[in-house]
Structure 1
Amino acid sequence: MAKPPSRVDIAHTALRQAIIEQALLPGTRLPEDEIGGHFGMSRTLARAVLQRLAGEGLVDLQPKRTAMVAQPSLEEAREIFEVRRALEREAVELVVRRWKPQFGAELEGHVREEDAAKARGEERVSIRLAGEFHLKLAEMSGNRLLLRYLGEVVSRCSLILALYGRPHSSDCAVNEHSEIISALRAGDAARAVHLMDHHIGSVERRALFDDDVPKADLGSVLAHYARAITAREAAVPLDGKREKATKPSRQDKAS
């Protein structure tokens, strides 16, 4: 019989899931006494839970300060996605090499869970399930270290999306996951890697969308405002001198 989870394990799992599902947003304070009281354990054990989460990159711990949900900088976010892309490629290649028929059924069942969460409008659950798809692949790779490292990176990506991301359709993740499964079934490692790269690139662009915003060009901005002002006040040239009204000539008066 499996040993029942300890209070520390329950608290760790609950907090980790709440952070990944973005129910606890980056910067949220995590007081030890409140966590301990909620799970019926001492502050010492609550601190141990927070230290585990800090080791996974989900919590910031600083001496003499209340712990809080981590807030990765944009520079850290870019580094995390660089590492994730490399790990995801390796996971895909290992899964193709060690593919078993039951892998396809398990992955497709997970995608159906993602689709069901989307249909129920459970966005937070959909976010968590989308990340867990990648952890299933890492587990199927048979490499425990890869699973450990990818698990940490995927979790950190949830924080990055909560901080910097923009809304998206969960249809994209479900469809892209299904395409990856098809390539894995076919044993096409090159296509599976290509699809994974595209998929992670889409997530990164959504997470770090500031890179997609075109930089303002001074000349274009000034031209736009100059046209608007000229249209509104046609009598005022851009040199700032108002045109003087010309007096009608005697001939004009006579006509």
Structure 2
Amino acid sequence: MSSNSDRVEAATLALRRAIIEQALKAGTKLPEDEIGRHFSMSRTLVRAVLAKLQTQGLVDTYHKRTATVARPSLEEARDVFAVRRSLEREAMRSVMKRWSPEIEKALKNHVKEEEAAHAKGDARLSTRLAGEFHLKLATLSGNALLERYLFELVSRCSLILAMYSRPHSSECAISEHSALIAALKAQDAAAAERLMDEHLVSVETRALITEEAETAPDLGSILSRYSSAR
């Protein structure tokens, strides 16, 4: 039997993926009883899941009877991207200092996953993997505090893009990620920082307001799909 911490982690991952892949839209209600029934966990454990997602900037529970998927404003979006650019530069510098064949392999393997998702035409998976490339960079930086802050910022940015961005080709992100890896391997700090800045600016400029009406999602069916994902 899995421990409570394992169950909380699994439920957190399932909900996070559903949010990042845009299956659960901004503002969607996340009732504790329905989540609890689906994952066979108590309200106490459900609240632990929602608290973890809140620290990642994905869920809003403040002064609300029912938690909802967070809905960042465009003003907050600009602030998030500004801070993220600064921290991503530091992550790049740290990864470059620690560069090794193992780091290169880890990053290239991730890009291969992105390419496979693009080849299958899986836009939602491509979107999530694009963000996770940056989480992998943060982890490989060797700086736990930097990793923690970037995890929240990258997650928040993914939610912002889910809300505001226009359609784009994932090929752009894949080629940009490959160029970043090449600059890191060459130990070209100036090129790596320039490429990262250009990459994040291109991501940020995709954020546009959409007024499309959304149909309320079937939370149960979404949770079934994501809780079985590995």
In the superposition, the TM-score normalised over structure 1's length comes to 0.79
- Secondary structure of 1:22 counterpart: coil
**Comparing 135-144 and 174-183, the one that deviates more:** 135-144
Task: In structure 2, give the amino acid aligned to 1:206.
Answer: R
**Structure 2 counterparts to residues 16-95 of structure 1, below 5 A:** 16-95=16-95
> SS of 2:68's equivalent?
strand
Deviations 1:104-153 (A, max 9, x none): 12111110110110110111111111111111111111101111110110
| Matching residue of 1:145 | 145
Deviations 1:50-73 (A, max 9, x none): 111111111010335211000000
Aligned to 1:223: none
For structure 1, list consecutive stretches of 5 or more residues without a partner in the other structure. Answer: 211-255
1:131-210 counterparts in 2 under 5 A? 131-208=131-208
Could you report, residue by residue, the CA deviation over 1:18-54 in whole angstroms, capped at 9, with x for unpaired residues? 1111111111110000000000011221112111111
Aligned residues: 209
Distance 1:209 1:53 in 2: 24
Q: 1:209, 1:62 → 2: CA distance?
A: 24
Give 1:209 shift: 7.1
Aligned to 2:8: 8
Structure-2 change in CA distance of 1:17 and 1:98 (3 Å) = same
Structure 1 outlier segments of 4+, above 3 Å: 2-5
Q: What SS does the aligned partner of 2:19 have?
A: helix
Q: Please state whether the residue corresponding to 1:161 is helix, strand or coil.
A: helix
CA 73–181 in structure 1, closer or farther in 2 if over 3 Å, else same: same
CA RMSD of superposed structures (Å)? 1.7
How far 1:208 sits from its partner (Å)? 4.5
Gaps of 5+ in 2: 211-230
CA shift for structure 1 position 6: 2.2
CA distance, structure 2, for counterparts of residue 142 and residue 194 of structure 1: 22
Which residue is equivalent to 1:118?
118
Identity within the alignment, %: 64
Code of the residue aligned with 2:129 in structure 1: it is L
What amino acid does structure 1 have at the position aligned with 2:155?
S
Local SS of the residue matching 2:205: helix
Query: How many Å separate the matches in 1 of 2:23 and 2:29?
Result: 13
Counterpart mapping for 1:173-252 below 5 A: 173-208=173-208
3-state SS in 2 of match to 1:207: coil
The CA distance in 1 between the partners of 2:90 and 2:148, in whole Å, is: 13
Partner of 1:240: none
| Alpha-carbon distance between aligned partners in 2 of 1:71 and 1:80, rounded to the nearest angstrom | 13
SS at match of 1:68: strand
Which segment is superposed worse, 32-41 or 10-19?
A: 10-19
Question: Which structure is larger by alpha-carbon Rg, 1 or 2?
Answer: 1
SS in structure 1 of the partner of residue 22 of structure 2: coil
Q: Distance in 2 between matches of 1:80 and 1:37?
A: 34
Name the CA distance, whole Å, in 2 between partners of 1:181 and 1:107. Answer: 7
* Structure with larger RCO (C-alpha < 8 A, sep 6+): 2
* Distance in 2 between residues matched to 1:74 and 1:60, nearest whole Å: 16
Question: How far apart are residue 8 of structure 1 and its match?
Answer: 1.4
The two structures have a TM-score, normalised by structure 2, of 0.87
- Amino acid corresponding to residue 10 of structure 1 in structure 2: A
